[in-house]
Amino acid sequence: MAISNQVWSPFKKSVLASLLCAAAAGVSAKELVFWSMWNEPEPQAKALRSVMAEYTKAHPDVTFKVVWNGRQNQTKLRAALAAGTKVDFMDQDGDQLFGGLQAAGAGLDISKDLDAKFKDAMLPGALGLYANGDKVYSIPYVYNTVNFWYNRDLMKKAGGAAPKTFDELLGLCAAVQKVGKSALVIEGNVSDYNMLYFSHLLERTYGSGSMAKLMEDKSGAGWQQAGVLEAANMTRSLWDKGCIAKDARGFQYPAGQQTIALGDTMGELVGSWLPTELSESAGPNFPWSAFNFPAVKGGKGKQTDLQVALLSMMVLKTAANPKEATDFIKYVVSDSAQKTLVKEGQIGATRKGVAWPAALADAQKAASEATGLSNFGGGLKMSYPEFTATVLAPEFNKMFLGDITGQQLIATLASKTKEYWVNKK
């Protein structure tokens, strides 16, 4: 009847009042069961509670029971569904959901419930990113862009400017070094973050969405193109040119990003959640700015091509209340709900015309001007999650951190890709 594991609060009292009103009016009450990827104390969870309260106020017959699972939500939900637990809807990173519950056929096709007006209200490409042809199984409600997030004042002190080419990025690194700082930082143990350099360089070389095409050459020869080795070597040049502080190799998340808050490093290639994650340590007046990954000389990709990490909600095929759950997740991307999420959760909106938090202004500009969208890391984690987790990400990290050569990386990717497709037969 209300959100689990909480004391009686004004929210719970309002829910009870709504139920009483619904009962008095003779309306059949519906309790929607929602399993969430957020942890209960997080601002995003609190923002969702506000959105649910707003919805219940307008629909007194609908209340919510929430299980706050954190980032392992989908894993926990799979086990619960197998045991017969009834859940109406859930949320997760869109790429994980696409390769997980959606691929397993657990999601409800809600295409018929989405008219042209609804679709047009969302930022370009967002709704279609996780669609299967013309079938829609989830609705993205949080928009994260992938950019270089940096200290604007430190760049100004170095006399630098946002680079438009990779060579200009290397030049910016040199300028920052002259003022005694490091331009970039990494989290040595987060291979998904580190691989963003490789995936961006491949997309700038071959075009947006090219990672999947390399993987889908079943002979493995896609990885053996000259541009792939060049991209790998370019990532290593960031170390050779001193762009990244040498001690960053040993950083364990979140040690790297903390150096930005402390003023020791200019920035990091990461998602637009960084300003929110560092809000306490960096303070409310930190001079955040962002720029897209620069272009590559002679490459087919554009600097305005964007990698994104959208968070989505899905109605389960086995939902007890599919109609009401679908109506609610459509409401989550309404103008009023998105404004609540932005204000209280400090997130990027997927709806057009909703201003993002001030710290994310450059991210909103990047999203509105995007000429092509691919998912985090080039989308391979979305389409081929097992290969990415067990081969691509860890092998790239070895190369990036200097344990193997670029040639060795390419040889491994080629052989493992061929092996992957042979085993798929």
- Is it the case that residue 211 has pLDDT exceeding 50? yes
Distance of CA 8 to the CA centre of its chain: 34
SS (H, E, C) 229-285: HHHHHHHHHHHHCCCECHHHHHCCCCHHHHHHHCCCEEEEEEECCHHHHCHHHHCCC
Q: 84-96, pLDDT tens digit by residue?
A: 999 999 999 999 9
**Is 332:159 a contact under the CB 8 Å cutoff?**
no
Q: Six-digit token pair at 23?
A: 């009962």
pTM comes to 0.91
Q: What is d(CA 218, CA 347) in angstroms, rounded to the nearest whole number?
A: 39
List all residues 6 or more positions away from 423 whose beta carbon is below 8 Å from its beta carbon. none
- Is it the case that residue 3 has pLDDT exceeding 50? no
DSSP letter at 377? G
Q: 270-304, pLDDT tens digit by residue?
A: 999 999 999 999 999 999 999 999 999 999 999 99
Q: 332-367, pLDDT tens digit by residue?
A: 999 999 999 999 999 999 999 999 999 999 999 999
Alpha carbon dihedral 398, 416, 225, 169, in 10-degree steps, equals: -30
User: Residue 407: CA atoms inside 13 Å, Cβ hemisphere, count?
Assistant: 0
Alpha carbon dihedral 377, 379, 380, 383, in 10-degree steps, equals: 150
**Is 292:370 a contact under the CB 8 Å cutoff?**
no
User: Residue 259: CA atoms inside 13 Å, Cβ hemisphere, count?
Assistant: 21
Please report, rounded to a whole number, the percentage of residues in the chain having pLDDT higher than 70: 93
Confidence of residue 7 (pLDDT cuts 50, 70, 90): very low
**Is 252:188 a contact under the CB 8 Å cutoff?**
yes
ω into residue 254 within 30 of 0, thus cis?
yes
List all residues 6 or more positions away from 390 whose beta carbon is below 8 Å from its beta carbon. none
Confidence of residue 18 (pLDDT cuts 50, 70, 90): low
Per-residue model confidence (pLDDT) at position 246:
87
Strands 265-271 and 182-184: parallel
**Is 316:108 a contact under the CB 8 Å cutoff?**
yes
99 bridge partner residues: none
- Is it the case that residue 20 has pLDDT exceeding 80? no
Q: What is d(CA 213, CA 382) in angstroms, rounded to the nearest whole number?
A: 13
State the DSSP string of 46-107: HHHHHHHHHHHHH-TTEEEEEEE-GGGHHHHHHHHHHTT----EEEEEHHHHIIIIITTT-B
89 bridge partner residues: 34, 315
Q: 102-123, pLDDT tens digit by residue?
A: 999 999 999 999 999 999 999 9
**Is 148:303 a contact under the CB 8 Å cutoff?**
no
Q: What is d(CA 413, CA 209) in angstroms, rounded to the nearest whole number?
A: 18
**Is 102:132 a contact under the CB 8 Å cutoff?**
yes
